[in-house]
């Protein structure tokens, strides 16, 4: 199975739509499903293929809603989520509340993150990359996992 990877620089159109790059659309096509869920996370948006989202929902549904932390997580992560599909031209419509949250107005970056896609305001994404370049110690995690 293919995964989402790579960085793609795009712009939002005047209606708040973004065209997914062909390579990312291919991964959705392999899953034979153009449905996805988009939600808020850490100043950017996360785009989940519908099957990945169902795994998350199943795990969350088994958590106790009596725990304050679980409710807070659900309130933020789950209530911010919207269902959407690619249109015939490979675009997705980002509702205003998601664009406002992620400060997305025109220039965006789609970052393939294996199982999901991150959607960033371009300026914020570049700031995040710069932080990592200036302090690459966070990349030591790969050594801890035995990857490199």
Q: Residue 4 pairs with which residues in a beta bridge?
A: 114
Across 3-12, 73-82, 104-113, least confident range: 73-82
The torsion angles phi and psi of 53, rounded to 5 degrees, stand at -65, -40
Instruction: Give just the sign of the alpha carbon dihedral 133, 113, 19, 2.
Output: positive
Predicted confidence band of residue 4 (pLDDT cuts 50, 70, 90):
very high
Predicted confidence band of residue 109 (pLDDT cuts 50, 70, 90):
very high
Confidence (pLDDT) at 143: 66
3-class secondary structure, 4:
strand
Tokens linked to 74 = 């659900």
What tens digit of pLDDT does each residue of 37-94 get?
Answer: 999 999 999 999 998 989 988 988 888 888 888 888 888 888 889 999 899 899 999 9
Q: Which domains does the chain have, with CATH numbers?
A: 4-121 (3.40.1550.20)
Q: Residue 113 pairs with which residues in a beta bridge?
A: 5, 116
């Amino acid at each position: 199975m293919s995964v989402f990877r790579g960085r793609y620089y795009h712009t939002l159109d005047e209606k708040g739509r973004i065209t997914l790059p062909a390579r990312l659309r291919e991964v959705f096509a392999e899953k034979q499903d153009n449905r996805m869920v988009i939600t808020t996370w850490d100043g950017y948006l996360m785009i989940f293929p519908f099957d990945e989202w169902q795994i998350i929902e199943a795990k969350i549904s088994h958590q106790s809603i009596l725990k304050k932390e679980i409710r807070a997580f659900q309130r933020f992560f789950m209530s911010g989520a919207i269902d959407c599909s690619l249109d015939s031209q490979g675009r997705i419509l980002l509702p205003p509340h998601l664009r406002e949250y992620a400060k997305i107005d025109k220039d965006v970056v789609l970052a393939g993150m294996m199982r999901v896609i991150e959607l960033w305001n371009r300026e914020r994404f570049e700031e995040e990359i710069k932080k990592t370049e200036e302090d690459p110690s966070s990349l030591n995690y790969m050594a801890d996992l035995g990857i490199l």
